[in-house]
Amino acid sequence: MKRALALATVLTAASLTGCSSYRDQRIATGAVVGGTSGAIIGGVASGTPGGAIAGGAIGAVAGAVVADASRPRYYDRPYRVQRRCYWDREIGERVCRW
Q: How many residues does the chain have?
A: 98
Residues with Cβ within 8 Å of 58's Cβ and at least 6 positions away in sequence, in order, are 38, 42
Nearest residue to 24 via CA among 63, 76, 73, 64 = 64
Distance CA 86, CA 88 (A): 6
Q: What is the mean pLDDT of each run of 10 residues along the chain (98 residues)?
A: 80 69 82 91 92 93 90 62 81 84
Does this model's pTM top 0.85? My answer is: no
Decide: 63 and 35 in contact? Cβ < 8 Å: yes
Each domain of the chain, given as residue ranges in start order, spans 21-97
CB atoms within 10 A of CB 54: 16
